[in-house]
Amino acid sequence: EALPWYEHKMVPSSPASFDATSWLLFLAVLVNQSGRVMVPSLKTSVLADPDFGEPFAAVVGGLLSGVSIVCLGGKLLGAAFTDRLGGWLVLVTVFVMWLAATAGAIAAPTVDVFGYMWLLNSFAYTVTWGAAVQVVGAVYGEKERPAQLSKVASASRFGATLGNLFFGQLLSAGFAWRRVMMPMVPLQAALLLLCTYKYFTDSGLRASAAAAADAPSLRLARPDCSHSSGAELAHRTFW
């Protein structure tokens, strides 16, 4: 049976075609996990900083404990709100937090501000996985989900490795730790825009699909009298 037009728009593209949703999720998790290792990769350079080194060494142990607590809280909050809000909206929120955390860490005037940005960074990456899984569950059918989940999981592994290599190479090239974080800003801004676009377009498609799904029931509720005889019309009107 042929699908109505509004259901065709909600069906993911075939494997032979370019699946924008799949690759956007892959890139979102890839960049997110690269950013997850950003501050730990820079820790040695921050400790060697003449202005930040000594005060950072005094609080780094507490910050590591705080990161663990924030990650646990992020998992709990993500589980509670992701299904209600939808994965795309959560990803939009994640990249807003990422931009704030990265820009704040680059410009941090004190170790305290830098520590708060590290905690915000940790909260953002913790929520990302659940949001990506929610999108996969909402967009893809039962047969496609395992492959898509594997793809997102591979992005998580590649992202952490890529982040360590990327930040390590920049540090080896002599860049200061603040400058090493700067390339993340345009990447996160681009993904924020793309996830925002997907959120609004998917919301529009769902609204159109819901309106179109209600239309047949409205038409069935009204009898078609254009070809009825006068007796039939009178009978329908009476009963």
DSSP codes of every residue in 201-233: HHHHHHHHHHHHHHHHHHHHHS---TT--HHHH
- Contacts for 171-179: CB closer than 8 Å, 24+ residues apart: 171/41, 171/42, 171/45, 176/45, 177/42, 177/45, 177/46, 177/49, 178/106
Q: What is the pLDDT of residue 193?
A: 95
Q: What is the pLDDT of residue 235?
A: 42
Q: How far apart are CA 150 and CA 127, in angstroms?
A: 18
Number of Cα atoms under 13 Å in the Cβ half of residue 67: 17
- State both tokens at 208: 């159109």
Q: How far apart are CA 182 and CA 75, in angstroms?
A: 27
Intervals of the chain under pLDDT 50? 1-15, 218, 220, 225-239
Q: What is the pLDDT of residue 210?
A: 55
Q: What is the pLDDT of residue 3?
A: 46
Q: How far apart are CA 232 and CA 225, in angstroms?
A: 9
Q: What is the pLDDT of residue 96?
A: 95
Q: What is the pLDDT of residue 8?
A: 41
Q: What is the pLDDT of residue 238?
A: 37
Task: Give which of 126, 125, 123, 118 is closest to 102, Cα–Cα.
Answer: 118
Q: What is the pLDDT of residue 205?
A: 58
Q: What is the pLDDT of residue 204?
A: 61
Q: What is the pLDDT of residue 79?
A: 77
**What residue has token string 């080194």?**
53
Q: What is the pLDDT of residue 9?
A: 43
